[in-house]
Amino acid sequence: VLRYHGGVYSGRTINPVQAELQTEGNVAFGLGQALYEEMLFDNGQLQNGNLGDYMIASIEDMPADLTVNVLEHPEANEIHGIGETSLPPVMPAIANAVYRATGVRIRDLPLTAEKVLRGLQEKGQGASPERDLEEAVA
């Protein structure tokens, strides 16, 4: 992931730095869920229950260009909870980017290279996102 822009509506921000940290942190968290994190079970037993086998996002995985906006309403007095509210959009945003780039629609996380390859093989050689878009519009 090269570029990500996150935004969250906070009503009236109490702690701007913490709000930014939470929103940026959600990108790190969601990026891990979108690309790496998967609990693997065998006969009900968790197979990768440690940080060596269950990969989470590290500082190297962060987008080089990451900006966040904590949106305030100038007249709002109510305080909205933020934090995890900006986490759910991260995964579909990345999944949409994968679809835009490869034409493969993946509906189960994480978005692994294997799933993209399987999707490409299923679609056959002639597939392209542009054609899919045209079909969708038509």
Helix boundaries (H) for the chain: 16-35, 90-102, 113-123, 129-137
Decide: 106 and 116 in contact? Cβ < 8 Å: yes
| Catalytic residue list contains 84 | yes
Residue 76, classed as helix, strand or coil, is coil
Which residues 57-86 are close enough to bind another protein by CB under 8 A? 57-60, 62, 66
Least Å from the CB of residue 26 to another protein: 7
Would you call the peptide bond into 74 cis, given omega within 30 degrees of 0 as the criterion?
no
Total residues at interface with another protein (CB under 8 A): 21
Least Å from the CB of residue 37 to another protein: 11
Options 12-20, 38-46, 109-117, 120-128: segment touching another protein (CB under 8 A)? 12-20
Residue 76, CA atoms < 13 Å, CB-side half-sphere: 12
The residues that touch another protein, with contacts defined as CB under 8 A, are 17-18, 20-22, 24-29, 50-52, 56-60, 62, 66
